[in-house]
Structures are given as C-alpha cells and as structure tokens.
Amino acid sequence: MATWRAPGRVNLIGEHTDYNDGFTLPFAIAASCTATVRPGGDGLRAGSAQVDGEVAIPLTGLAEAPAVPDWARYVLGAAWLLRDRGVDVPPLEVTVDSDVPSGAGLSSSAAVVCSVVTALDDALGLGLAPDELLALSRAVENDVVGAPTGGMDQLASLRSREGHVLFCDMRDLAAEPVPFDLGGAGLALLVVDSRAPHAHADGEYAARRRGCEAAAAALGVPALRDVVIDDLDAALARLDGVGAEEQRRYTRHIVTEDARVLQTVELLRAGRVREIGPLLTQSHVSMRDDFRITVPEVDTAVEVLLAGGALGARMTGGGFGGCVIGLLEAEAVESAAAQVEEAFAEAGFTPPVAFTVTPGPGAHRVDG
C-alpha cells in the first residue's frame, strides 16, 4: 500500500504557452489530493471521498475498459495505460480525497492524476523516472479523459518546490525552481475564485489550441514559441490568410506572454519581487484583449484589485472563469478581498471566495 499527496497549482504567469512549447511559471498550493493504492481484491476498484459509491470493474487496458463516470476515469486511467504498456498491474483499489476546488482553474484534475500516478508507482515498485511520471500523468488527461491540455499542471503538481515557483520550459520539459519569497518582501498573493461558471470552457480551450497551431503552421515554425519577440511585428504582418485576424491576436498573446515569463524569472532571480506586478497585469490585458479567454467576473476582480492598490493582478489558469491572483502588500489583503466581494455583490455576481497562497511542495509520499 502507498499513499501520496499531489497539489493543485496557481500559475504565476505564462498562460496557454505550454502547448505552444513555451514558458510557464506555476507553483504548488496547499490544496491537494491524497491517493492511496492498495494491491489486492480482484479487478480494479476506485473510490473518492468526494463522490458516493465505489466503482468496481475487471482488470483491463484502456480499450476494453467499461464505461465509468468521469471521476473514475481520472482515478483508474493510469492503471489502464500501464496495462497497455505491458506492466503486470495486479488487482488493486485506488481511493482519492481532494480539497482542490474543481472548475476553479487550480488544476484539481492534475492533483488527482498525479497523486494516483505517484502512489501507483510506489505501491507497485515501478521505479518510473520523473519524465515517465510526467508522461503517464499527461496521458491520463489527454488520452483517457480526452482533454487536450498542455502539461504545465502535471509538471507543477509533480515537481514544485516549497518557497519557489517552477520555471518550466515546455519544449524540453525542464523545470527549474526559482525562489519566490513573498513574505520576505512584505507581500502576499491573494487568490480570488470568481466562481463564474466554466461555460464552453472545453470547446474554447481546444479552439485556442487549434488557432495557435494554425498560426504556427502559417508562419512556418514548429510552434509559436519559435517566434522571437523582436520578430513579432514582422511575423504578424506575414499572417494575412484565412482567419488572420484571430491568428495575429493569438500569436501576439503567446509571444509576448513567453517574453513576460522570462522577464518575471529575471526579476525573481534578482530578488526584485515587487517589480513583477506590471508584468502580471500586462498578462491579464493580453488574455482579455488578444487571447480573449476572460469573463466579466474575472475582469471585475482584476480591476478592483488594481484600483485597491495591488501591484499587479491577472486571471490564472485556462480561463473562461476560474481564479484571479493579486500581488498585494501583506497588510492590504483583507481590505482588497472585501472590496472584491462588494463589487461582485453590486454587479449581481455569485459571491467570490478569496484566500492567500504560498508556494508549497510537489507530490510527496504521506506516511502512515
């Protein structure tokens, strides 16, 4: 038996850059999922503290797997894929318990998948290398559940380090911890869950991904990461075919966002935490105006935070709802949260949920 805990994440900056082979800067949060794998019994069994009832099915690979509810696909997907890869998976039970809010853009699904994958690896003594753990976690999301996500969430959940953001190069999957000492700078990072419904989020996400790939193809580069910022204007001028207006907006977002991640990393390495604020805000404007993935609730939260003195604020995660982050003086947190609540009430939005976060550890074994 093995029990592992894997966290959700906040992405400090670098949105939708992951599937463009670009740069991201996420970190693990305290909200997490715990998975326990117990070999024994017969077949595969899945349980979740958040769902009534257990799923019990025969031991198969993915193609022969019977239909089960979505939550159980996240929980059992890794076992199916391992069977497909010729691993002698024994009968076992996987149970999960998560406090990462779902649909908030905090990677609740990566927390489930990464806790299960690390617990399975441990319980079955597979000895998977870090890259294999990442590939298996991504495959559950991409191939078992069918979500065309880009890999940042799983990388963050597996490899984050306490007190650090994780500088991810999504082309070679290098992940380097960079110190992020909010407290030392007298700052706090406030998360505001807008609780805006994730309407059409899956279809819109896939459409952005297709649009970025089309733009890269039109520019003759493997991915938008390959357009360097100094060549951006020339590249935009070359996009003049069908769908050019949209492709230009997507390209501008991705290329400037990659540049902002690199600038943020430089500032953090130099200990200039306060100075990253404007980059966060520019990222939000780019997501709102060019990539067009924000909704009124998150735009309102960002505006109110900035008006209330935040050094920077932006939506975090895939978009179309979800969470906003605000970089604030530590003593300004309570009043900022109250101002957002008030503005939401005035606008008739669902009341938001606000909390502060600090960078925590990635997936780790839980003893006992």
> Which of 107, 160 has the CB closer to ligand GLA?
107
Query: Minimum distance between the CB of residue 249 and ligand GLA, rounded to whole angstroms?
Result: 16
Query: Minimum distance between the CB of residue 150 and ligand GLA, rounded to whole angstroms?
Result: 3
> Which of 35, 113 has the CB closer to ligand GLA?
113
Confirm whether 153 is a catalytic residue: yes
Answer for the pair 337, 193: CB distance below 8 angstroms, yes or no: no
Query: Minimum distance between the CB of residue 201 and ligand GLA, rounded to whole angstroms?
Result: 9
Query: Minimum distance between the CB of residue 71 and ligand GLA, rounded to whole angstroms?
Result: 17
> Which of 11, 48 has the CB closer to ligand GLA?
11
> Which of 25, 218 has the CB closer to ligand GLA?
25
> Which of 93, 290 has the CB closer to ligand GLA?
290
Answer for the pair 10, 363: CB distance below 8 angstroms, yes or no: no
Output the CA angle 227-231-319, nearest 5 degrees: 50
Query: Minimum distance between the CB of residue 63 and ligand GLA, rounded to whole angstroms?
Result: 25
> Which of 7, 150 has the CB closer to ligand GLA?
150
Answer for the pair 4, 156: CB distance below 8 angstroms, yes or no: no
Answer for the pair 17, 254: CB distance below 8 angstroms, yes or no: yes
Distances (CA, A) of 174 to 21, 151, 153: 11, 12, 14
The residues binding ligand GLA (CB under 6 A) are: 11, 15-16, 18-19, 107, 149-153, 317-318
Query: Minimum distance between the CB of residue 132 and ligand GLA, rounded to whole angstroms?
Result: 19
Spatial distance between the Cα atoms of 43 and 56, rounded to a whole number of angstroms: 7
Of 18, 21, 153, 193, the active-site residue reads 153
Q: Which residues are catalytic?
A: 153
